[in-house]
Amino acid sequence: MLYKYNMSTDDEDDILFKALGHRARRRILDALKSGPRTTGMLCGLMPALDRCTVMQHLKVLEDAGLIVVERRGRERWNHLDALPIHAIHERWIGPYAAYAASMLSRLKRASERTKGTGPLAAMEADAGRKTG
pLDDT at residue 125 greater than cutoff 80: no
72's enclosing H/E stretch is strand 67-72
- Phi/psi for 5 (5° steps) reads -60, -45
3-class DSSP state of 21: coil
> How far is the C-alpha of 102 from the C-alpha of 124, rounded, in Å?
22
> How far is the C-alpha of 32 from the C-alpha of 58, rounded, in Å?
11
Are 42 and 78 in contact, with CB atoms under 8 Å apart? yes
pLDDT per position as a tens digit, 73-94: 999 999 999 999 888 888 878 8
Q: Which residue type occupies 17?
A: F
Residue 54 has a pLDDT of 98
User: Around Cβ 61, how many Cβ atoms within 10 Å?
Assistant: 26
Residue 44 counted as domain residue: yes
**Domain extent for 63:** 9-81
DSSP 90: I
Do 49 and 37 share a structural domain? yes
Q: How confident is the model at residue 6 (pLDDT cuts 50, 70, 90)?
A: low
Do 58 and 28 share a structural domain? yes
> How far is the C-alpha of 26 from the C-alpha of 32, rounded, in Å?
10
Residue 3 counted as domain residue: no
Do 73 and 107 share a structural domain? no
Residue 4 has a pLDDT of 54
Residue 15 counted as domain residue: yes
Do 100 and 69 share a structural domain? no
Are 16 and 65 in contact, with CB atoms under 8 Å apart? yes
Q: How confident is the model at residue 50 (pLDDT cuts 50, 70, 90)?
A: very high
